[in-house]
Structure 1
Amino acid sequence: MRIGTRLPTTGPDANRAGIVDRARELEAAGFDSLWVSDHVVQPETIQSRYPYSADGTTTWDPAIPQVEALVALAAVAAVTERVELGTAVLVVPQRQAVLLAKQLASIDAIAPGRVVLGAGAGWLAEEFQALGADFARRGAVLDETIDVLRDCWTGRPPARTGIAVDLPAGIVVAPAPAQSIPVLVGGMSGPAIRRAIARGDGWIAQTSCTAEGAAEVVRLAARLREEAEVAGRTAPLRIAARLSGGDAQAAALLLPVLAAAGVDDVVLDTPPAGDAARAIELLRDTLA
């Protein structure tokens, strides 16, 4: 199992010290991956239902600073050598597909083979409206965008006419990554599971850092495999779980259960305070 953590791209630590300097420290401590979350804008009062809380409400202040996800990832790519760099998750339907392909391939040029796209459909209707994106068709746009990304990463995408993207013939998108960037589809819903099977290289869950949260990941991971078998998918599916809340000690209690369920990556939602090397040692000891 690979162990990663989300970088503090939101809140008071969303600055050079909190993102860039901390990334160096976490890589040196032995973390396998570093991840960033994504919101471009948020309304002062959120009316949309938040899918990752029991009552559908959010608990954070929408006015807190949030560094743009791909800018943060590029900055971290330039100062690290080994760790994977991922989005957990990027709200893909809000972004122009060809430009997104170029941005991710450019980060991959700085950090070859280390970029992972966690791709979500999004939930915040007000954000879509502010960005001029189609909230009602976000699932279909996500499907199309994943296809367009993969086409663009070949360097010479074929012409297409789609929902949100019309590509003329003869377009060159360079640089192209040496290998296609892995796409992990995010979400805890049936459509997210089916999308991961049909279009993804894997699935990324988001749940609470609790026994109940881990049990939900275990249940959905089993469903993912069952539905993949029914669909005739033979390619392996990478499974990642982002654990919201809790600290390294709380996460350590859950790792054996998640590992037994075939989870490949665990992502702590908050970087460990203090000695990161000690935290990663604690986490790895539970898997020994």
Structure 2
Amino acid sequence: MHLGIVTPVLIQHPSTRSEWEATADIEEVAQIAETADRLGFHHLTCSEHVAVPAEIAEERGGTYWDPLATLGYLAARTRNIRLATQVLVLGYHHPLEIAKRYGTLDRVSNGRLVLGLGVGTLKEEFDLINAPFADRGARADDALAALRVSLSNPRPEYHGEFYDYSDFVVEPHAVQTRVPLWIGGRTKRSLRRAVAHGDGWVPFGLRLSELKDMLAAAPLPERFDVILSTGAPLDPLGDAEQTVRALTRVRDAGATIASSSITATSAAHFSDQLEELHRIALAEGIEFTAS
């Protein structure tokens, strides 16, 4: 099992945001990213929302840094850690928009892009940008098939139900021969979508017992990743035993990659926590490599 981090500051959920994150700047985020990179963590994350309705933001947060701009900056401050969108909403973009913009990110980061992708659930946001909502699942499946043949191809061609194109040049494009696609979701359909089109599944909002049952019932391809959250923010310096339990639980549930939130009082404290998490994880046999 590899270990990555949920980047602080970039998403601020009212129930989990630490006080220091409210005023943190990109330099503090970069310092944390540099620490995670130096220690060999697998990935860092950034998610996407265009605009969250005010009443919904009160419950699930309204701060979502733009992943393309943010990960582009962090790419320049790091060398090995993977840069994961967790997640982009497929319905907000044409596949070739993603191929160009994030293919460029893959180029400037020397092949460190991981595209975490989701169908999306916030109807108000779909309506705001005039994106179709009712058939978003079918559109997402078509977009995933289009992305698979387009991301690393300077002359992509695809003919599907919703997307149809040929004779276009997309330069620059991704330098990875196969950009990892992680599919987010919490349903059996999302897992089927991930197996059919992706390289990994990023479930959320499910009990570990539910995850075990779903994974046991779904034959997974070789080299397919299951990316599981370690749950409540870890406090390696303050509670090493709880940290070990959290890592062990997700590994036993079938995670090939774990993604950890960290409790901290400042960016410096967050980096200290990463140092201790690295020590604990090594003792537990957790791998540290972005490859």
| Same-fold call, TM cutoff 0.5 | yes
Match of 2:234 in 1: 247
Q: For residues 52 and 222 of structure 2, what CA distance do their matches in structure 1 show?
A: 37
Inter-CA distance 242–90: structure 2 relative to 1 (3 Å threshold):
farther
Q: Which deviates further from its counterpart, 264-273 or 26-35? A: 264-273
> How many angstroms does 1:272 deviate by?
5.5
> How many angstroms does 1:106 deviate by?
0.5
Inter-CA distance 242–146: structure 2 relative to 1 (3 Å threshold):
same
Q: Which amino acid aligns with 2:168?
A: I
Q: Indicate yes or no: 2:218 matched with 1:224.
A: yes
> How many angstroms does 1:82 deviate by?
0.8
Matched-pair contact (CA < 8 Å) for 2:142–2:160: no
Q: Which amino acid aligns with 2:133?
A: F
Q: Which amino acid aligns with 1:104?
A: Y
Match of 1:19 in 2: 29
Higher relative contact order (CA 8 A, sep 6+): 2
Match of 1:198 in 2: 196
Matched-pair contact (CA < 8 Å) for 1:207–1:244: no
The two structures have a TM-score, normalised by structure 1, of 0.82
Match of 2:261 in 1: 269
Match of 1:4 in 2: 4
Matched-pair contact (CA < 8 Å) for 2:227–2:256: yes
Q: Which amino acid aligns with 1:241?
A: L
Matched-pair contact (CA < 8 Å) for 2:230–2:259: yes
Question: RMSD across aligned C-alpha pairs, in angstroms?
Answer: 2.4
> How many angstroms does 1:268 deviate by?
1.3
- Gap runs ≥5 in structure 2: 13-21, 237-241, 287-291
Q: Indicate yes or no: 2:38 matched with 1:38.
A: no
Matched-pair contact (CA < 8 Å) for 2:99–2:174: no
> How many angstroms does 1:61 deviate by?
3.8
Give the 5 Å matches for 1:165-244. Answer: 165-167=163-165, 169-178=166-175, 179-207=177-205, 213-225=207-219, 228=220, 234-244=221-231
Q: For residues 171 and 18 of structure 1, what CA distance do their matches in structure 2 show?
A: 40
Q: Which amino acid aligns with 2:5?
A: T
Match of 1:50 in 2: none
Inter-CA distance 251–42: structure 2 relative to 1 (3 Å threshold):
farther
> How many angstroms does 1:248 deviate by?
4.2
How many residue pairs end up in the alignment?
263
Give the 5 Å matches for 1:15-94. Answer: 15-46=25-56, 59-62=59-62, 65-94=63-92
Matched-pair contact (CA < 8 Å) for 1:92–1:120: yes
Matched-pair contact (CA < 8 Å) for 2:149–2:158: no
Match of 2:148 in 1: 150
Q: Percent identity over the alignment?
A: 26
Q: Which amino acid aligns with 1:214?
A: L
